[in-house]
Structure 1
């Protein structure tokens, strides 16, 4: 029974440490101080690329929100007002 408790405790510690390393959280030293992973050029470049991708995705999301707002306006408008707008646009082209 003691062996099971010890092995589960050690397995939990290993899993927790692996998850912290994988997700970039600081590790704890023997006295509780935070040990941060070393930063190298590859890590810095990866953060830059992820930041650029994040900015692009945010811009794309903004344009999608605008388009969705237009679609919602078209769907929720009454058919009569929509017909008037379409006819007025046809009239301006001629």
Structure 2
């Protein structure tokens, strides 16, 4: 092989390795972003790769959905109770009663 060809290959090898590393890094970043944001992954020929649904996963999803509904209902009732407490505390007559009790002094 000609020495000029060897020198040329030695100068181009780092550039080729950089291009390959850049391509692999871009693929990894794209796949990570797809997974993070919930987009389907592509297979080798462009077909979408979806997770398999087995009975255990379907049951777990059903249980989580029912637990989510229960927690949302409980949160709604807590919000209602908090609104009632806020209304009582900000009520003028409640404030007046507290001021009168404060003026009476400590109970002996």
Q: TM-score range by the shorter chain?
A: 0.5 to 0.7
**Aligned mates of 2:71, 2:29 — CA distance in 1:** 32
TM-score (normalizing by structure 1): 0.62
2:26 equivalent to 1:39: no
Match of 1:71 among 77, 81, 85: 85
User: What is the count of residue pairs matched by the alignment?
Assistant: 83
Which of the pair has more CA radius of gyration? Answer: 2
Structure 1 stretches of at least 4 aligned residues deviating more than 4 Å after TM superposition: 18-25, 80-83
* Unpaired segments ≥5 residues, structure 2: 1-14, 98-108
In structure 1, the residue matched to 2:64 is 50
**Aligned mates of 1:55, 1:14 — CA distance in 2:** 37
Q: Secondary structure at the match of 1:39?
A: coil
* Unpaired segments ≥5 residues, structure 1: 84-94
TM-score (normalizing by structure 2): 0.56
